Structure 1
Amino acid sequence: MSNAAQNARAVFTGVDSSGAVPVEYRFSHAKNGNRHLVVVFANLTAPGEYGWSNGVLNNLRSNILWIRDLFDGENSYYLCKGMDFSLERSIAGLISRVMNALSLTPDDVTMFGSSKGGSAALYFGLKYGFRNIVGSVPQFLIGTYVREDMPGAARMMMGQVTDENVRVLDAVLPELVRSGANRSANIYLVTSPQDEQYQRQVEPFLGLFQGHENFNLVFNDSPLITNHGKVTLRNLPAIMGVLNLLVDGITPRFGLVRNGYEQPERDTSAIDAYLTETSQVRDESFPRPVVVTPAADERVPANAVRFTGSAPGAVRVSFWEDGKHQGTAPVAADGSWAWERANPWGKGRHVVRLFAADANNYQTERTEVIFTALEPEPESAAVAGYAPAPLPVPAPAPRIVLSVTAPAAHQQVPGPGVGFAGYAPGAARVDFQEGGVSLGTCEVRADGAWVWEPGWAWNEGDHFVEAIAVDAVGNASPWVAVPFTLVNAYHVPTQGGYLNQRY
């Protein structure tokens, strides 16, 4: 099991709807009352569109606020929808409310991200006056980049993808730097000439930082860097070292500094109230789903288990057992829903937990259903005492089959990176987890093939990753185990031990 699974920190999820655009976030309290906040912006292909959220920051002592970059199903660089920058202002408002709830100031906050998250860290850090900025391999010409490489994001951000809108977005970050905004910020920019985006997206803009009092360029010219994603990976020790120093109130420069910033007994009622107010899980205002069948402790043939019920105000109901996703059911306009698993349930007692979610991804409290699956009955046999549900029985869901071709089971894989590949015909995506911790997801191509490259360094030793394929309507394959052993990895020493190097 990875260190992330063993040392996972408690994380709260929420949706801040105070601004014009609802913003989803995750938050984790500081260790030992540390008086600092790190705001994390998502990189490209970040799991769940939350950057650096798979354990790499577990040893960071500060409060951590992860902000999701998913609006209308697309990335936004945290800037705009249809050239309406109220999205940016909503995100700035979220950061401000969390900061104020912690009784912190902008001097106690670090903006952090890589790739598009690095662009966001620079933008929000400079524009809103935050003291520390750590950005790895950012894009400066945002409009050009999304038009050429992220067409879905381009349409969402611009509405109409025109040369004028591209020009406006291209100017957002360079003009902000050129204006001299927040010259006293401590800026740490990570880049490499081996990054395929360096010559066009980074190098022409480095001169704009002249005059900034503490601009630091971490320039890695290693031949081991072969693409955009490898720059952050190879600079991970330096990045984590800088973050830990900033959290402790130390900026890497000569001069007198203050260390510590810890108040273990500090009153957390303000931030607790904010987390409760904006929690993604709604208790009273959004009732949990009602289950009609199966009845509590009902005994049902394993191939005749059908869930039905109601969830007014929701758009979908999600089903889980032992922390594993089993399926999703759409909710009709009248609030009714029905769901059957594609495969028969295993014989014995089952405890299924389900919740409903609305269009803004607010969730209900969990409903628990306990039933016992009996020996499957022949298809033509009637089940004594088992009344069919009042809703029509849907056609059997298509069977989703997931196969993993790499790494092979129990293979010894040279580290630090590990790539996964396989087939899942008919599926839309493949999700991954280890030790109950979500690792990420990847899309399935039209021919059924999929490839997932996490982009982080794994710890040496044994790993037990699980994968599941899901189609466009929520039908899922059985979970597939991917056990492997990582060799020749490296570790980053930190004050609290060894860091799991995933980003």
Structure 2
Amino acid sequence: MKQQIKKALKPAKSYITRKYMEKVLKSEKEFKINAEASRIKYLFQSNEKSDKLLVIFSGFPLKGKPPVYNYVLTFRNLNCNKLFILDDFGNDPRGTYYLGTNENWFLVDELTNLISDIQNKTGIKNDNVTLTGSSKGGFAALYYAFKNNYGNVIAGEPQIMVGDYLSATQHLGVFNNIMGEHSQEKRDKLNNALLEVIEQKKNFPNKIQILCGKNNDYYLNAHIKYLTTFLDKKSIPYNLKLGDFNEHSQIGKHYPKLVYNHYNN
């Protein structure tokens, strides 16, 4: 009976979601950047009663679909400032992992400038900035949180060994977006991108939360363990939560709870 009700309500839910996003996208802005005379598209949802900022990075869009902002509807009830950043660079619509194109990682500085611009306008300090995302967005959240020493990071099943992940045939378009072409040397560089950032830093986010399905052996063994082993080696505290789900496709259902708990505690 419950399944029948859910099926009956699905068209109505889809319609409400579409109309909500159409309204939200009218407030989309562009942050001009020097690299390639381009811009970064973003949504900023202000909350003057809050001194906290949540920065949300997107995962891969559906195959053949344009890049989208993730979790806009999911996080609509969070009482904080929210910055959603789009990754629509390169020739593959799945983006560049928020790094840049052709081994020119121009977004590293430009995205930092965008976040700093929002902080300057709102007066929000680094300690009150939380970076978050799942999958590709989880990697980006971790990368920028460590790069710029923001206060908190919440990542849902992030890819850590990005070079290995993108070397799969179905993802080579994204690899070539970021690195220009595929080689073992460039694969190693992508694999080490996050770990090298951590290695270079002396200060770290105050709170690091990572979520992974408890029986998702691929993400646990091929990605997460490389990060946690590295963090353990450097005595950097973190919280790895093993969720009651197994498939990566379920991360969007479970990971937002960590974000809500972060702001409700």
Is the contact made by 2:74 and 2:256 (CA closer than 8 Å) also made in structure 1?
A: no
- Residues 90-129 of structure 1 correspond to what in structure 2 (within 5 A)? 90-129=110-149
- 1:205, distance to aligned residue in structure 2 (A): 2.6
Is the contact made by 2:212 and 2:219 (CA closer than 8 Å) also made in structure 1?
A: no
Q: The residue matched to 1:66 in structure 2 has which SS?
A: strand
Is the contact made by 2:119 and 2:125 (CA closer than 8 Å) also made in structure 1?
A: yes
CA separation of 1:95/1:218 partners in 2, compared to 1, >3 Å: closer, same or farther?
Answer: same
CA separation of 1:133/1:82 partners in 2, compared to 1, >3 Å: closer, same or farther?
Answer: same
The answer for the alignment partner of 2:184 in structure 1 is 163
CA distance in 2, matches of 1:19, 1:33: 33
Aligned identity (percent) is: 22
Higher normalized helix content (fraction of residues): 2
Is the contact made by 1:184 and 1:212 (CA closer than 8 Å) also made in structure 2?
A: no
The answer for the alignment partner of 1:88 in structure 2 is 108
CA distance in 1, matches of 2:197, 2:252: 24
Q: Does 2:231 correspond to 1:209? A: yes
TM-score by length of 2: 0.81
Deviations 1:86-137 (A, max 9, x none): 1221111111111111121211211010001000000000111100101110
Is the contact made by 1:121 and 1:134 (CA closer than 8 Å) also made in structure 2?
A: yes
CA distance in 2, matches of 1:6, 1:175: 42
User: Which amino acid in 1 is paired with 2:186?
Assistant: N
* Counterpart selection for 1:29 from 39, 43, 46: 46
CA distance in 2, matches of 1:53, 1:232: 8
CA separation of 1:4/1:59 partners in 2, compared to 1, >3 Å: closer, same or farther?
Answer: farther
CA distance in 2, matches of 1:175, 1:142: 13
Deviations 1:46-75 (A, max 9, x none): 675234244101101111111111112431
- Residues 427-466 of structure 1 correspond to what in structure 2 (within 5 A)? none
- Residues 242-253 of structure 1 correspond to what in structure 2 (within 5 A)? 242=262, 244-245=263-264
Q: The residue matched to 2:241 in structure 1 has which SS?
A: strand
* Counterpart selection for 1:44 from 60, 63, 85: 60
Q: Does 2:222 correspond to 1:200? A: yes
Q: The residue matched to 2:28 in structure 1 has which SS?
A: strand
Larger relative contact order (Cα-Cα within 8 Å, sequence gap ≥ 6): 2
- 1:187, distance to aligned residue in structure 2 (A): 0.7
User: Which amino acid in 2 is paired with 1:44?
Assistant: F
Q: Does 2:151 correspond to 1:131? A: yes
CA distance in 2, matches of 1:125, 1:19: 23
The answer for the alignment partner of 1:67 in structure 2 is 85
Q: The residue matched to 2:209 in structure 1 has which SS?
A: strand
Deviations 1:247-302 (A, max 9, x none): xxx5xxxxxxxxxxxxxxxxxxxxxxxxxxxxxxxxxxxxxxxxxxxxxxxxxxxx
CA separation of 1:178/1:212 partners in 2, compared to 1, >3 Å: closer, same or farther?
Answer: same
The answer for the alignment partner of 2:6 in structure 1 is none
CA separation of 1:5/1:240 partners in 2, compared to 1, >3 Å: closer, same or farther?
Answer: farther
Q: The residue matched to 1:45 in structure 2 has which SS?
A: coil
User: Which of the two has higher C-alpha Rg?
Assistant: 1
Q: The residue matched to 1:197 in structure 2 has which SS?
A: helix
User: Which amino acid in 1 is paired with 2:129?
Assistant: V
Is the contact made by 2:160 and 2:226 (CA closer than 8 Å) also made in structure 1?
A: no
- 1:181, distance to aligned residue in structure 2 (A): 4.5
- 1:214, distance to aligned residue in structure 2 (A): 4.4
CA distance in 2, matches of 1:111, 1:50: 17
CA separation of 1:236/1:123 partners in 2, compared to 1, >3 Å: closer, same or farther?
Answer: same
The answer for the alignment partner of 1:257 in structure 2 is none
Give unmatched runs, 5+ long, in structure 2: 1-11
What is the Cα-based RMSD across aligned positions, in Å?
2.5
Give unmatched runs, 5+ long, in structure 1: 251-503
CA distance in 2, matches of 1:141, 1:111: 19
Is the contact made by 1:118 and 1:137 (CA closer than 8 Å) also made in structure 2?
A: yes
